[in-house]
Amino acid sequence: MENYINEAVEKFRSLLTEQIARERKMEEEKCVTDFEKLSKIVIGICGGDGIGPIISAESRRLLEFLLKDEIAAGRIELRTIEGLTIEKRIAHNKAIPDDVLAEIKACNVILKAPTTTLKGGTLESANVAMRRELDLYANVRPVCVPDENIDWTFFRENTEGEYVLGSRGVAIPDTLAFDFKVTTKEGTKRIARAAFEYARKNGKTNVAIVTKANIMKKTDGMFSELCHEVAADYPEITAEDWYIDIMTANLVNERVRSRFEVFVLPNLYGDIITDEAAQIQGGVGTAGSANIGDRYAMFEAIHGSAPRMIEEGRGMYANPTSMFKATEMMLSHIGCKAQADKLSKALRICTEEAPKYKITGRPDGATCTEFGDYLMETISKL
Ligand code: IPM
Ligand code: MG
């Protein structure tokens, strides 16, 4: 037992040193991408696993259609990145194989299809690794239900919390297991600034700081405190403290939910509550997600790779809506506002206002390609 304890203490010492160094690095000068100043924007498209290659191929087709002129003029390049597959990741025992990571880093933004995340073991999730490697600290997830006056934007901290050391816990066989949760000063301040800046720019007056600071006293306590420090620079915005449990209930409470606008929250709570919020909008298949850093940004569906659909031979009926929403967010991020607006309008028509096809994930619904065609046809008529 003594050996286990010594080993764990040594491991904790090196984790502490590493995380302190990470926090210091965040405070250093940042390299911020200004898309307007780039002579060419390279969009990398990662196919991923399961239904990923199907819905990402459809998104590529959509981008080729929407960005025809920009691509022809050499202002935008679409680059398909192969190799972010579970088979290759297992073979290399790496969340993102080195050659794939190099290709990703040679792009300005990434559109990523779902990748399979294994339960247990030590192979880290590709999502989590990409968020860390590209330092994509703000996970922005909008949820809108106009009929119910719901217009929420979640700012989920994306590089810390339970995730940063999630694959590097300590276990003593037959006895106990420890995982680590890390919150840093700069890591919290930058997500808080992103949330309050968004609120200010979009005329929102309420930011909910969602934690469990009554129990996770050190990490969430610090998160909440620092968010309030940042809030002091935004006097026109009300910053409210909420606990994650009651906020989870509030989102399904029809009497109160529409008063919330912007949420800022640590990584794991953000993961969980954004699935709940997406479900209120119509399901996880309907929501897109932006992972924003200073230099890079990655856009993805919020759902998984749906291996069961592939096993059952239903891949062609996969719903690409979540990837299309991610595509819309990406277009807007790189400055292609007109194309993003068109896509947004067409998506609303094709999924809510006058849907000609319904996607059910089964042969009684439209295929992914039929839906893609329908969407492009709708865009052409706008
Ligand atoms: C998400 C997903 C990921 C997460 C998984 C696939 C690692 O659930 O993007 O919300 O937990 O962040
Ligand atoms: Mg999730």
Residue 29 pLDDT > 80: no
Spatial separation of the C-alpha atoms in residues 133 and 136, rounded to whole Å: 8
Nearest to 267 by CA among 145, 171, 125: 125
Spatial separation of the C-alpha atoms in residues 25 and 363, rounded to whole Å: 51
Residue 31 pLDDT > 90: no
In angstroms, the Cα distances linking 12 to 176, 207, 257 are 16, 35, 41
Residue 122 included in any domain: yes
Confidence (pTM): 0.92
* Residue 100 near residue 81 (C-beta atoms within 8 A): yes
φ, ψ of residue 69 in degrees (nearest 5): -65, -45
Residue 149 pLDDT > 90: yes
Segment 7-36 mean pLDDT:
93
The three-class DSSP label of residue 285 is helix
Nearest to 370 by CA among 353, 356, 352: 356
Segment 113-140 mean pLDDT:
91
Tokens of 349: 């028509």
Q: Is 125 in the pocket of ligand 1 (CB under 6 A)?
A: yes
Least confident piece of the model among 60-74, 112-126, 361-375: 112-126
Which numbered ligand comes closest to the C-alpha of 279? 2
Residue 370 included in any domain: yes
- How many CB atoms are located within 10 Å of the residue 102 CB? 10
More confident residue, 128 or 371: 371
Per-residue pLDDT tens over the stretch 132-144? 999 999 999 999 9
Runs of H (alpha helix) within 115-218: 126-133, 185-201
Q: What is the pLDDT of residue 354?
A: 79
Residue 108 included in any domain: yes
Paired sense of beta strands 170-172 and 262-265, if any: unpaired
Per-residue pLDDT tens over the stretch 201-254? 999 999 999 999 999 999 999 999 999 999 999 999 999 999 999 999 999 999
Q: What is the pLDDT of residue 56?
A: 97
Residue 377 included in any domain: yes
State the CATH number of the domain containing residue 356: 3.40.718.10
Q: Is 127 in the pocket of ligand 1 (CB under 6 A)?
A: yes
Q: Summarize the chain as % helix, strand, coil (round to 5).
A: 50, 15, 35
Which numbered ligand comes closest to the C-alpha of 290? 1
Residue 363 included in any domain: yes
Q: Is 230 in the pocket of ligand 1 (CB under 6 A)?
A: no
Tokens of 141: 């997830």
Say which residue the tokens 């003593």 belong to.
172
Residue 169 included in any domain: no
Q: Is 302 in the pocket of ligand 1 (CB under 6 A)?
A: yes
Residue 59 included in any domain: yes
Tokens of 296: 């890079």
Say which residue the tokens 């290659």 belong to.
53
- How many CB atoms are located within 10 Å of the residue 215 CB? 11
Q: Is 117 in the pocket of ligand 1 (CB under 6 A)?
A: yes
Say which residue the tokens 């968020």 belong to.
131
Q: Is 96 in the pocket of ligand 1 (CB under 6 A)?
A: no
Q: What is the pLDDT of residue 283?
A: 87
Q: Is 322 in the pocket of ligand 1 (CB under 6 A)?
A: no
Which of 128, 271, 292, 325 most suits a substitution to test ligand 1, by most atoms within 8 Å of the C-beta? 271
Atom of ligand 1 nearest to the CA of 128: 7
Q: Whose CA is nearest to atom 2 of ligand 1?
A: 302
Structural domain of 336: 31-136+293-382
Instruction: Give the chain's mean pLDDT.
Output: 95
Cα(310) to ligand 1 centroid in Å equals 20
Q: What is the pLDDT of residue 284?
A: 84
Exposed, middle or buried: residue 191 (CB in 10 Å: 0-12, 13-18, 19+)? buried
Residue 336 included in any domain: yes
Share of the chain above pLDDT 70, in %: 100
Q: Which long-range contacts (CB under 8 A, 24 or more apart) does 370-374 make?
A: 371/58, 371/319, 371/320, 371/321, 372/58, 372/61, 372/62, 372/320, 374/350
Segment 341-359 mean pLDDT:
91
Which numbered ligand comes closest to the C-alpha of 276? 2
Which numbered ligand comes closest to the C-alpha of 123? 1
Spatial separation of the C-alpha atoms in residues 61 and 361, rounded to whole Å: 20
Q: Whose CA is nearest to atom 3 of ligand 1?
A: 127
Nearest to 300 by CA among 152, 150, 136, 167: 136
Domains identified in the chain, total number:
1
Segment 12-39 mean pLDDT:
92
Residue 342 pLDDT > 80: yes
Atom of ligand 1 nearest to the CA of 127: 7
